[in-house]
Amino acid sequence: MAGCCWMVSQRLLLSPPLSHVSLNSSSALISSTPLSFSLGSCCRNRARARFSSALSVSASSTLQALIFDCDGVILESEDLHRRAYNDAFSHFNVRCLSSPSQDPLNWDSHFYDQLQNQIGGGKPKMRWYFKEHGWPSSTIFDTPPQDDGDRAKLIDILQDWKTERYKEIIKSGTVETRPGVLRLMDETKAAGIKLAVCSAATKSSVILCLESLIGIERFQGLDCFLAGDDVKEKKPNPSIYQTAVKKLGVSEKECLVVEDSVIGLQAAAGAGMACVITYTSSTADQDFRDAIAVYPDLNNVRLKDLELLLQNAVPAN
């Protein structure tokens, strides 16, 4: 190879692990040009395509369905969820006995980034936290709940209140979609390709997000919409994508998933689907080696780019 230029022959050459690469908004890890083009100027287009050792994708797959995650993909929602959880903890005066603080439980940004990137779904997050740090006292139960029924009740009440608070934040009008999302959705529908949204979040909150951010017409035009309520297991379990492919009536090899985290990537890969990543500030340092492409956002990504990605994806060895 001369300098930083090489030709792509069915797949991009593998680069060092993404976890060892410093990410920032000024440096896209994947060129938004189709993969069949030659790549030039390392400073302008730093390619980091990854092909899974576990995910098997047909080299001749044609894109028939584009599936979006919601939180982190359609909108940057991590901090909004964190604020809603902390408001719920404060409202019910949730206190873990293991905490040296006399104040209600409060998840800071650094901790929540780690938590939400390891455990999908709100109830599983709280259940894991309380198991690790002790079940809390609250205005719901004066003393920490001891049996499974009371513990489930505590989590249900907290989650329901948190969901309503999150809705209030979304309805405030201060939240916008991430760059390129609406245009890519419109391109997909115009091309006759099926469009879906699969989110691990509570259905009512996802519906509100979608109606508020992508608009009622786009939401009603989705070919498939699934939320955490629709499946028994949360991501990284692949069940939500396995359910989606059945509803869409296409092969998993004809689907392309857009995710923002390694949890979502694992869910897509587990369902036998190719996945592209559009990372956020809280997921940028994760290991996305099993994604077929990684982008800082979708602003310069066109449907034709995604179609070529899927066509050029190489089956795992």
Q: Is residue 186 flagged as an active site residue? A: no
Which of these, 227, 239, 177, lies nearest to 199 by C-alpha position? Answer: 227
User: What residues form DSSP beta bridges with 117?
Assistant: none
Distance between CA atoms of 260 and 31, rounded to whole angstroms? 17
Catalytic, out of 71, 87, 260, 297: 71
- In sequence order, which residues have a C-beta less than 8 Å from that of residue 238 and are 6 or more positions away? 266, 267, 268, 269, 270, 271
Residue 3 token pair: 């300098």
Query: Quick one: how many helices (H) and strands (E) in the chain?
Result: 10, 6
Residue 72 token pair: 């982190």
Residue-wise burial string across 162-184, b where 16 or more C-beta atoms lie within 10 A, e elsewhere: bbebbbebbeeeeeebbebbbeb
Q: Is residue 260 flagged as an active site residue? A: no
Distance between CA atoms of 257 and 63, rounded to whole angstroms? 11
Strands 224-226 and 255-259: unpaired
User: What residues form DSSP beta bridges with 276?
Assistant: 258, 293
What amino acid positions are annotated as catalytic residues? 69, 71
